[in-house]
Amino acid sequence: MTDTSTIAPSPRRLLRLKQVLDRTGLPKSTMYSRISAGTFPKQVPVGASVRWLESEVEEWIQLQVDARDQQLGSGGSDGGIGGDSTPRPLAA
């Protein structure tokens, strides 16, 4: 049995707005709309500014990937407009 009292917890890291936008690829207005809707992690007040917990942002990104993978696995979007992945010739 491992003694968990001697294992140091992972340090929490706070991200600035630019870092969050860079990681997610979201426009600022979309990110704040999703925060208001409860579908994106809330800010952490730090003095006169705000930050986001890196772990929460990474978890949100992973949830987006999981949703995509679940959709692909259940016959969802396969990238083709016509429902198959056969390349279509370009119109002349």
pLDDT of residue 81: 46
CATH number at residue 36: 1.10.238.160
pLDDT tens column, 4-21 = 667 767 779 999 999 999
Q: Do the domain assignments include residue 83?
A: no
Q: Do the domain assignments include residue 52?
A: yes
pLDDT tens column, 32-79 = 999 999 999 999 999 999 999 999 999 999 999 999 999 988 765 555
Q: Do the domain assignments include residue 85?
A: no
| pTM over 0.85, yes/no | no
How many domains would you assign to the chain? 1
Q: Which domain holds residue 20?
A: 12-73
Q: Supply the angle between the helices 28-37 and 17-24 in degrees, to the nearest 10.
A: 90
